[in-house]
Amino acid sequence: MSKASTGNYFEDLVTGLELEHPTPRTITEGDASMYVALTADRYPLHCDAEFARSLGYQRETVNDLLLFHMVFGKSVPDISLNAVANLGYADLRFGATVYPGDTVRAHTTVLGRRESARGDTGVVWVRTTGYNQRNEEVLTFIRWVLVNKRDTSTATGIDDAPQPPASVDASALHVPTELRLEGFNPTVTAGRAWWDDYEVGERIHHIEGVAIEEAEHQMAARLYQNTARAHFNAYALQGTRFGRRVIYGGHIISIARALSYNGLENAVRVLAFNGGTHSNPTFAGDTVFAWTDVLEKIDLGRPDAGALRLRLVGVKNRDPNTEDTPLRVADDQGRERYHEHVVLDLDYTVLMPRVR
């Protein structure tokens, strides 16, 4: 009997399969500091205990994206150890507030599958949910991932792919009950814009770019205990499509989100991902830039805050503030595809204080 697991392949991830993932994780202050070091994230709610307490929290909170990566990482050994790439996200909703010292675990349900035309891979749709030590839901999301088949010579014809929702309904957005925005001090954030100041159709260029270093990416994936071989095993990847390690797509989300602080400084927390696509791969040495389009202003019925639905676009090796970079272009057959420099298209919703 083999003691080591080779992970699940497309054939193993049957629709309806329920997986309770091993190794729950207690998220520590050290994890939060490491996340800042690896992404340069500056949102003060996650690093300033006094600011957090002024808003009604017990202390600084775990960064929303750090929580996402931790829960995502729990699912990797069972879902995407043999993945070619993670393709997208939908219906991601944050729940109960997570503080340093809380322990999170993850559970996944396989929602559906579709074998590729070539028969060597297939796309698998799953819903993963994270819980804290009190069994409160802290995060839930759908993702779909391209997974290798174990037997590439036998076609299965499987296609029961689900249709994820196009967006998260406003009624499902969770605003923490402890949040008190009357104590919000914009001097802490240096933010000049409130919910009322943003306009639908507005584009915010976040100005700076960040080069991705191999060591930083490797440390980030290890921090999340993300063991996908596409990010680590350079030897095994020599004969693959890219021939080298691919940067974890979640790291691109974190880099782009950190860049977006310039222009969205007052955003309190991420409420949801409506949908997301890793449109092109990134590799060590690429430089990432970002812009944000304001898609929708959502009135939450509160005098102190509203929600902004935003489109965060990540671009590699091209400064979209000074170089024309369309989101999509037509190929030789006239079919629309993402521009080759666009690496992230994330539709997400944030909580933003209103003018007081």
Lowest mean pLDDT among 22-36, 77-91, 304-318: 77-91
What mean pLDDT do residues 286-300 have?
98
**Which tokens hold the place of 322?**
């000074």
What mean pLDDT do residues 144-164 have?
93
Residues 6+ apart with CB under 8 A from 322: none
Q: Report which secondary-structure segment, H or E, holds 189.
A: helix 186-189
Domain ranges of the chain: 10-154+164-353
Number of neighbouring beta carbons within 10 Å of residue 259? 26
Residue in the structure block whose two tokens are 């639905």: 309
Q: Is the pLDDT of residue 122 over 90?
A: yes
pLDDT at position 298 is: 97
Question: What is the residue type of 217?
Answer: H
Q: Whole-angstrom distance between the N-terminal and C-terminal Cα of the chain?
A: 66
What mean pLDDT do residues 279-304 have?
96
99 contacts 40 by C-beta, under 8 angstroms: no
204-261: pLDDT as tens digits? 999 999 999 989 989 999 999 998 888 888 888 888 888 888 999 999 999 999 999 9
Q: Is the pLDDT of residue 60 over 90?
A: yes
259 φ, ψ (degrees, to nearest 5): -60, -35
Lowest mean pLDDT among 34-38, 82-86, 90-94, 270-274: 82-86
Lowest mean pLDDT among 130-144, 213-227, 292-306: 213-227
Question: What is the residue type of 344?
Answer: L
Number of neighbouring beta carbons within 10 Å of residue 171? 5
pLDDT at position 227 is: 86
Residue 86: band (very low, low, confident or very high) from pLDDT cuts 50, 70, 90: confident
pLDDT at position 260 is: 98
265-274: pLDDT as tens digits? 999 999 999 9
In angstroms, the CA 228 to CA 96 distance is 28
Residues 6+ apart with CB under 8 A from 220: 38, 39, 69, 248, 251, 254
48 φ, ψ (degrees, to nearest 5): -125, 100
**Which tokens hold the place of 115?**
């074998």
pLDDT at position 334 is: 81
Across 21-150, the runs of DSSP E, i.e. the strands, are 25-26, 83-94, 103-115, 121-131, 137-148
CATH class of this structure's domain 10-154+164-353: alpha beta
What mean pLDDT do residues 56-65 have?
98
pLDDT at position 85 is: 83
161-202: pLDDT as tens digits? 999 999 999 999 999 999 999 989 999 999 999 999 999 999
The per-residue pLDDT of the chain, averaged, comes to 95
Nearest-10 crossing angle of helices 64-79, 214-223: 80
pLDDT at position 148 is: 93
